[in-house]
Structure 1
Amino acid sequence: MKKLTKSRDNKMVSGVLAGVAEYFGFDPTLLRIIYGAATLIGVGSPFFLYIVLAIVIPEAPRSNQPKNPTSYGFNSGKKRPEQPAARKEAEKVKEEDWSDF
């Protein structure tokens, strides 16, 4: 059984719109665009509705494993580096070569 919760993986402010989009099975970006347009037009005070939903809708339970263990960061899609990059050493400069005057 599906339960309406705030998203933990795809949140911009509090995860309300992403949670609603995940519940109904469509793209959260599309819902954000529609919601932003409705806020600008002022149809039904969506700003206050968002605040109420952020308070009322429970947060999704934490999971021990990330959904995609090869990615890190907020929707970055980048893979973790296997080994850290080697540090470069700076060139030594003679005392008289660096003056700006």
Structure 2
Amino acid sequence: MKKKLYRSNEHRILFGVCGGFADYFGIDPKYIRIGYLIFALICSMFARLSILPVGIYVILALAMPLNPNQSVKSFSSFFGNQTTNRPARPNNQGRKVIRDVKEKDIKK
């Protein structure tokens, strides 16, 4: 079966382009990211080539399809489990109860 190049759902930071190349070549995604960083630094030394790395990344992000065989992870999963154990607010449809209120006479 022929291998296809997909954006990665599992090894993604922005769009999964570097992770997709890492999956295609069977190497660790950090090596692809380091190589891309070196490429971007070399291009930034020349004024006319400074936009090239960003342009290539955007074109690849738009052209490469997502991998249908991997589960989709959200961007927030990159930061770990951020859920809290706060109870949900009750949805009261009745009147609000105000407690511990001091009354004052308003003179006009």
Query: What TM-score results when the alignment is normalised by the length of structure 2?
Result: 0.55
**CA distance in structure 2 between the aligned counterparts of 1:31 and 1:63, rounded to whole angstroms:** 20
Indicate how the Cα distance of structure 1 residues 19 and 63 shifts in structure 2: closer, same or farther if over 3 A, else same: closer
Within 5 Å, which residues of 2 pair with 1:31-70?
31-42=32-43, 45-61=52-68
Which ranges of structure 2 fall in alignment gaps of 5 or more residues?
82-108
Q: Number of paired residues?
A: 71
Indicate how the Cα distance of structure 1 residues 19 and 39 shifts in structure 2: closer, same or farther if over 3 A, else same: same
**CA distance in structure 1 between the aligned counterparts of 2:64 and 2:12, rounded to whole angstroms:** 14
For residues 36-69 of structure 1, give each alpha carbon's deviation from its aligned partner in whole angstroms, at most 9, with x where no partner exists: 11101107622211111001000111657x9xxx
For 1:17, give the aligned amino acid.
C
Query: What TM-score results when the alignment is normalised by the length of structure 1?
Result: 0.58
Say which structure, 1 or 2, has more relative contact order (CA 8 Å, 6+ apart).
2
| Larger CA Rg, structure 1 vs 2 | 2
Which ranges of structure 1 fall in alignment gaps of 5 or more residues?
67-72, 79-101
